[in-house]
């Protein structure tokens, strides 16, 4: 396939390795990201997410293996890669001394855009990210969410084909996070843009991503759609049944013997916790038990596996305290 | 009773600071080195004995006494190391070269010297000195007076015969006070400050703040970055340097001998020095990511560039090692050029050798900065 071919994947990663001295940040990663997909990289801190994004965006060179972005090798065709990508790094790289308008205009010049193109595109983007009213104020006066939105506009100034976001909502308040999610969803709807997003927020990954790779210790622990990943872990669905009166062993026993239930446990005085064999909720059976015991059912709620459970299952824990590659090589994020 | 502070809390604060300092232990080196370097450089770049001052001698007289004086001066040059003597056939040509900054003084033995001396009169030697450099001028004059008072011709001298020295100071450039002497150095110093701030501190701060990381994911090349950053810092230097030049000319009440042409050449000198210093900073800071480093190096760099530049005291007074340091210091050549332009009103030809050194320095630094500057994290 030749570069620019419509059918080829947006990102192809093969046996990609990055070592910093003795520390292996990314260890033999292989995956592809299809065109116009939102692909999530999920993993605890220090798992190697940022190192991966830095290799894909030409900021550091891979130790071995190779990666193609829009068909261009990230180690050899750096200029072509850089022209095809927009990047929101983890560090806040907004120039506080410049206004939003100046920032976009200067970045437009980096990509060789004409004055007219820059003016049109900046206007369009600043309106899209809701910074139009603030475009002539220095970015130093912006809130965290506004800076992130400015970075998103700046990253899109040259109409990139692949957009990389490294923890785009880390440190933002819930409202700002929602605004950014809506922005990314709008971008997906407009099409012709592949998005790769690194995050350690499960809700973010679940809401935005078409497919996810879970990375741990620099390796891919699992890869698939959020649904596939949730379905891939044992334990399946859990149903909580709450009764009006106190329940005890006989109720648990009866519930456990329902054919759809693999296990049942008491969860407090009024509640039973049923682990299902499949995804059918045995409502009839539960009501039968309720009638038999003369204890009415107050509520039945289904607890689906969340990506939290998935991450916990594949990585052992949600957060890891360890010396990451970032510690070994101080990276520009000190004076944020 | 409750103390307004808790010693263990207080010590924790102290501990935190000391730990942070230990993490940045490399910063101790410049801090300790700074006063030592100050002492070495400052002590040796001011108030030392002068050596090898270029002095021209014009012997217009063919008599025995004139030849005796000529020998005495040669002996003096060899014994004291103060002058290097160069023979000049014509007084006007020698004076012209003095004006161009080639000589520090011209000794003239007039054609009636031997005749006056033989007649038993006071015979006058002419001494034209470079008044823009009062230190060298005074030293040369004092040394000449001492040498001539001691001198006795080989044969018997007639009674009453003596050698006088007619010093022509005012004739050369007009009186210049020390403040005016310092103007070129102050201009060079201001360029150092701008280069340090714009080329050093801001560069490293921007790197630490991720501004460069933002640049690196765009198609900007290394040359775009080095060139663009150099241009901005040099432009700032030119603006600030011009402001300092104008103010110091006004404060020191320095007449601009060469008029507009001199001012344009001063601007060119400022540009060349600024370019060299900015690129020098980029070279030093090419791999630095700790924002404290340029701040810690500020003092040392200041001392090793400014003091050995001849801005405060003639470079001829430096010991050999300091001479060597001063010879690779672009500020020395800029100060020399600025002094000749501002105090003597010389033309382009007289400052061309200085310009060649400044251009060579900037070119070397450009190569080094481009090689060392990393476009990746």
Tell me the two tokens of residue A330. Answer: 């101080």
CB contact under 8 Å between B217 and A335, yes or no, is: no
* Beta carbons of A57 and A63 less than 8 angstroms apart: no
* Beta carbons of A270 and A243 less than 8 angstroms apart: yes
Q: Is A85 on the interface with B (CB under 8 A)?
A: yes
Cβ burial, residue A157 (10 Å; 0-12/13-18/19+): buried
Q: Is A107 on the interface with B (CB under 8 A)?
A: yes
**ipTM at complex level:** 0.75
Best probe of the B interface among A158, A334, A336, by most B CBs < 10 A, is: A334
Q: What is the rounded CA–CA span in Å between residue B28 and residue B8?
A: 26
The SS3 call for residue A131 is coil
Angle of helix B64-80 versus helix B134-150 axis, rounded to 10: 120
Number of H helices, E strands in chain B: 15, 5
CB contact under 8 Å between A89 and B209, yes or no, is: no
Number of H helices, E strands in chain A: 12, 14
| Distance to chain B for A205, nearest Cα, Å | 24
Q: What is the rounded CA–CA span in Å between residue A93 and residue A148?
A: 9
Q: What is the rounded CA–CA span in Å between residue A160 and residue A167?
A: 19
Q: For residue B289, how many other CB atoms are within 10 A of its CB?
A: 16
Best probe of the A interface among B202, B205, B209, by most A CBs < 10 A, is: B209
CB contact under 8 Å between A79 and B219, yes or no, is: yes
Residues 6+ apart with CB under 8 A from B369: B226, B230, B279, B282, B283, B286
Q: Is B23 on the interface with A (CB under 8 A)?
A: no
What pLDDT score does B171 carry?
47
* Beta carbons of A117 and A125 less than 8 angstroms apart: no
- Spell out the domains of chain A, with CATH numbers in brackets: 11-231+311-328 (3.40.50.300), 234-304 (3.30.70.1560)
CATH number of B53-168: 3.40.1710.10
Best probe of the A interface among B207, B215, B216, by most A CBs < 10 A, is: B216
pLDDT in tens, chain A (336 residues): 444 455 689 999 999 999 998 899 999 999 999 999 999 998 888 888 989 999 999 999 999 999 999 999 999 999 999 999 999 988 788 888 889 999 999 999 899 899 999 999 999 999 989 999 999 998 889 998 899 999 999 999 999 999 999 988 888 888 888 888 998 888 888 878 999 999 888 888 888 999 999 998 899 988 999 888 887 776 557 788 899 988 888 888 888 888 888 778 887 888 888 877 777 888 888 888 888 888 888 888 887 777 777 777 777 654 443 433 343 333 343 333
* Beta carbons of B127 and B140 less than 8 angstroms apart: yes
Alpha carbon B367 to chain centroid, angstroms: 25
Of B209, B211, B218, the CB nearest to A82: B218
Q: Is A77 on the interface with B (CB under 8 A)?
A: no
Q: Is B227 on the interface with A (CB under 8 A)?
A: no
How many CB pairs (< 8 A) connect A and B?
63
β-strand partners of A162: A85, A194
Q: Is A263 on the interface with B (CB under 8 A)?
A: no
Of B212, B217, B220, the CB nearest to A332: B212
Helix, strand, coil % in chain B, rounded to nearest 5:
65, 10, 25
Average pLDDT, stretch B36-50?
Answer: 73
Partners of residue A59 in chain B, C-beta under 8 Å: 213, 216-217, 376-377
Instruction: Give pLDDT tens digits for B255-300.
Output: 888 889 999 999 999 999 999 999 999 999 988 988 989 988 888 8
* Beta carbons of B345 and B256 less than 8 angstroms apart: yes
Q: Rg for chain B (alpha carbons), in Å?
A: 27
Residue ranges per domain, chain B? 53-168, 178-372
pTM: 0.75
Strands A219-224 and A211-216: antiparallel
Instruction: Give pLDDT tens digits for B202-246.
Output: 889 888 888 888 889 988 888 888 888 888 889 888 988 898 888
């Amino acid at each position: 396939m030749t570069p620019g071919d419509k059918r080829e994947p947006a990102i192809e990663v093969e046996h990609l390795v990055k070592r910093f001295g003795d520390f292996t940040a990314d260890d033999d990663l292989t995956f592809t990201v299809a065109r116009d997909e939102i692909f999530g990289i999920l993993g605890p801190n220090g798992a190697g997410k940022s190192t991966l994004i830095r290799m894909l965006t030409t900021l550091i060179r891979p130790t071995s293996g190779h990666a193609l972005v829009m068909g261009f090798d990230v180690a050899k065709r750096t200029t072509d890669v850089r022209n095809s990508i927009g990047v929101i790094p983890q560090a806040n790289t907004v120039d506080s001394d410049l206004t939003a308008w100046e920032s976009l205009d200067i970045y437009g010049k980096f990509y060789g855009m004409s004055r007219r193109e820059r003016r049109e595109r900046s206007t369009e983007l600043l309106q899209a990210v809701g910074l139009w009213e603030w475009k002539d104020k220095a970015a130093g006066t912006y809130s965290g969410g506004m800076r992130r939105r400015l970075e998103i506009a700046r990253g899109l100034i040259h109409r990139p084909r692949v957009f990389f976001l490294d923890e785009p909502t880390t440190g933002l308040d819930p409202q700002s996070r929602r605004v950014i999610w809506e922005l990314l969803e709008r971008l997906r709807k407009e099409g012709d843009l592949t998005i790769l997003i690194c995050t350690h927020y499960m809700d973010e990954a679940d809401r935005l991503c078409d497919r996810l790779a879970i990375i741990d210790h620099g390796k891919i622990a699992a890869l698939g759609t959020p649904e596939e990943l949730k379905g891939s872990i044992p334990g399946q669905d859990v149903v909580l049944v709450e009764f009006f009166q106190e329940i005890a062993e006989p109720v648990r026993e009866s519930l456990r013997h329902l054919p759809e239930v693999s296990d049942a446990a008491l969860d407090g005085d009024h509640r039973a916790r049923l682990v299902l064999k499949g995804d059918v909720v045995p409502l009839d059976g539960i009501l039968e038990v309720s009638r038999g015991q003369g204890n009415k059912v107050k509520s039945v709620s289904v607890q689906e596996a969340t990506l939290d459970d998935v991450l916990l299952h594949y990585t052992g824990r949600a957060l890891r305290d360890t010396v990451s590659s970032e510690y070994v090589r101080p990276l520009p994020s000190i004076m944020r | 009773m409750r103390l307004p502070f808790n010693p263990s809390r207080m010590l924790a604060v102290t501990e935190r600071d000391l730990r942070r300092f230990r993490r940045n232990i490399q910063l101790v080196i410049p801090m300790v080195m700074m006063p030592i370097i100050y002492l070495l450089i400052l002590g040796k770049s001011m108030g030392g004995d002068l050596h090898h001052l270029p002095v021209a001698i014009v012997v217009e007289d063919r008599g025995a006494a004139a030849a005796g004086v000529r020998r005495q001066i040669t002996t003096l040059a060899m014994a004291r190391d103060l002058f290097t003597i160069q023979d000049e056939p014509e007084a006007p040509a020698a004076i012209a070269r003095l004006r161009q900054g080639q000589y520090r003084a011209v000794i003239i033995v007039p054609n009636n010297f031997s005749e006056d001396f033989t007649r038993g009169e006071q015979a006058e030697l002419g001494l034209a000195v470079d008044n823009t450099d009062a230190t060298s001028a005074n030293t040369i004059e004092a040394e000449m007076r001492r040498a001539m008072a001691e001198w006795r011709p080989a044969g018997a001298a007639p009674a009453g015969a003596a050698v006088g020295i007619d010093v022509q100071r005012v004739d050369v450039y007009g009186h210049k006070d020390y403040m005016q002497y310092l103007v070129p150095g102050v201009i060079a110093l201001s360029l150092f400050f701008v280069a340090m701030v714009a080329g050093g501190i801001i560069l490293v701060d921007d790197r630490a703040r991720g501004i460069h990381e933002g640049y690196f994911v765009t198609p900007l090349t290394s040359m775009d970055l080095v060139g663009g950053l150099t241009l901005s810092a040099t432009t700032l230097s030119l603006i600030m340097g011009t402001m300092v030049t104008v103010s110091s000319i006004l404060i020191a009440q320095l007449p601009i001998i060469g008029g507009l042409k001199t001012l344009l050449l001063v601007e060119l000198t400022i540009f060349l020095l600024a370019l060299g210093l900015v690129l020098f900073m980029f070279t030093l800071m090419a791999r630095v990511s700790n924002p404290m480093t340029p701040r810690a190096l500020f003092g040392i760099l200041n001392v090793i560039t400014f003091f050995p530049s001849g801005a405060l005291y003639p470079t001829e007074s430096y010991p050999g090692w300091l001479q060597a340091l001063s010879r690779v210091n672009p500020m020395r050549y800029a100060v020399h050029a600025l002094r000749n332009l501002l105090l003597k009103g010389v033309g382009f030809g007289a400052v061309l050798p200085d310009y060649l050194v400044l251009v060579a320095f900037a070119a070397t630094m450009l190569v080094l900065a481009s090689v060392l500057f990393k476009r990746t994290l």
